[in-house]
Structures are given as structure tokens and as C-alpha cells.
Structure 1
Amino acid sequence: MIRQFQWTDYDAVVSVWAATGRDVVPRAELEAKLLRDPELFLVDEADGAVTGVVLGTYDGRRGWILRLAVHPDQRRQKIATRLVEELERRLALLGCPRINLMVLPDNAAGLSFWQRLGYLPVPDVLCTKPLRP
């Protein structure tokens, strides 16, 4: 069952991220994100356990898929596809015209997954700058 993230899910979401080798989003960052668009942070739950998670956001112009992870023991069950489809549905309801995401250059399986869902690579260059609080 796909549903909106609740704070009681935090430890389970951290476990999914850890099992997939992803960095954990600190609680403070999630608190700020959830003030903006909490309906775009989704979990998949089966038998009381969180099996997958997707973190999306919408800035009023573009939607972003920032984190998609499925526990390794639960893969190949279409959990990731269902999470993305539900996030896309919710973004569409907000009037979002386009969704962006990033795939690491060495993640061939990830790129293939996103292309199967209709996401196309673009030759943009990612620039980033950390800000000090």
C-alpha cells in the first residue's frame, strides 16, 4: 500500500536507505521539506513494514524526484514503478508540467529503469553549491 510518509516511518525509511547504500536525509532537512509538500513523500508498506520510499518535491515550476529506494529484499515486485506512478499522479494534480531527476553516471540499471518509465536523459550539467547555515 502506498501512502504519505508519517514521522513514525522515519526509522524504517532510514533502514531502507541504509540497505540500499543511500545517504540518510537528516531529520531537520525532512522537517523543512515536509512543511512545503508533505504529500510528495511516499512510502510503500506491506505487512506493516516499509518496503520502499520516494521523496518528491515541487517548486511551482518543476517536480523533482530526489530519492527512490526499495529494500533489496523487496525488489522486482514493481514497488518502485508504483511509487513513481503515484508521485507522478500527485504532481499532476498540483499542475506540475515536468518532472526532473538525477541518475549517477555509473548507475546503468537506474538509467534503464527511468527510461522504461519514459524519462529521457538530457545533456545538462549539474552544478551545486553547499550553503552554510
Structure 2
Amino acid sequence: MIRTFRWEDYDAVAAVWAAAGADVLPRAELEPKLTRDPELFLVAAPEGIIAGTVLGTWDGRRGWIFRLAVDPAHRRKGIATSLVHELESRFEALGCPRVNLLVLPHNKAGLRFWQELGYLPAPDVLCTKPLRSQPPEK
């Protein structure tokens, strides 16, 4: 069963991110996102247990897919594909004409997964700049 994220899901979603080797987004970082397009933050909860999640955003021009993660204990069951298909349906319902995502260069399996779903690599260069000063690492 795929559904929209609810705040009571946060600890389970954080556990999926951690199990999948992804950084856990703090609640404070998710709050502004959830006031904008909460219907694009999805969880997969087969048998009532959150096994996967994907975070989508839409800026009114392009959709973006971030943070697709499936707990390793639940992989190879089509959960990631189902999450992506549901997110794409929700993007289409919003009138979104194109969806973008980022794959890190070392993530060969991830790139293969996205290509199997029809996403094509683009020669763009990602540039990024943090806008808030971060506390020094300990």
C-alpha cells in the first residue's frame, strides 16, 4: 500500500533512510516541504510496516525526485518501482511536464534502476551552495 506521509510515520521513515544508508532529514527540514506539496512525500507500507519512501517536489515547472529508499530487508519486491510510479501519477495530476532527479556517480545500481524506468542521464553539471552556516563538525 502506498500512501502520503503522515508525521506519525517520521520515526519509521527515518529508520528506512538509516537502513538504506541515507542521511536522515530532521523534522525541521521537512516542515516547510510539507506545507508546500505534502502529497508528494510517499511511503510504502505493505502489511502496515513502512518499507520504503520517496520524496517528491514540484516547483510549478519541473518535478524532482529525492530520497528514494527501501529498507534492505524489503528490497527486490517492486516497492521502489511502485513508489516511483505513484509519484509520477501525482506529478501528472498536477500538470507537471517533466521530472528530474540526481544519481551520484558511484551509484551504478541506482543509475541502472532509473534507466530501466525511462530516466535518461543528462550531461548537466550540478552546482550547489549551502545558504545557512552549518555548525562545525565535531
Q: Does 1:95 align with 2:95?
A: yes
Q: Structure 1 unaligned runs (5+)?
A: none
- 2:130 maps to 130
- 1:83 maps to 83
Question: Distance in 1 between the 2:46 and 2:12 partners?
Answer: 12
- 1:11 maps to 11
- 2:27 maps to 27
Letter aligned with residue 38 of structure 1: P
Q: Secondary structure at the match of 2:55?
A: strand
Q: Does 1:41 align with 2:36?
A: no
Question: Distance in 2 between the 1:121 and 1:79 partners?
Answer: 23
Kindly provide the CA deviation profile for residues 70-109 of structure 1, in whole angstroms up to 9, marking residues without a partner as x.
Answer: 0000000000000000000000000000000000000000
Quote how far apart the aligned CAs of 1:118 are.
0.1
- Aligned-residue Cα RMSD (Å) equals 0.8
* Number of matched pairs: 133
Q: Secondary structure at the match of 1:73?
A: helix
Quote how far apart the aligned CAs of 1:5 are.
0.1
Q: What is the percentage of aligned positions where both structures have the same residue? A: 71
Which shifted more, 42-51 or 9-18?
42-51
Quote how far apart the aligned CAs of 1:22 are.
0.1
Q: Structure 2 unaligned runs (5+)?
A: 134-138
Quote how far apart the aligned CAs of 1:117 are.
0.2
Letter aligned with residue 9 of structure 1: D
Q: Secondary structure at the match of 2:45?
A: strand
Letter aligned with residue 97 of structure 1: P
Q: Secondary structure at the match of 1:88?
A: helix
**Runs of 4 or more above 6 Å deviation:** none
- 1:67 maps to 67
User: Whose strand proportion is higher, 1 or 2?
Assistant: 1
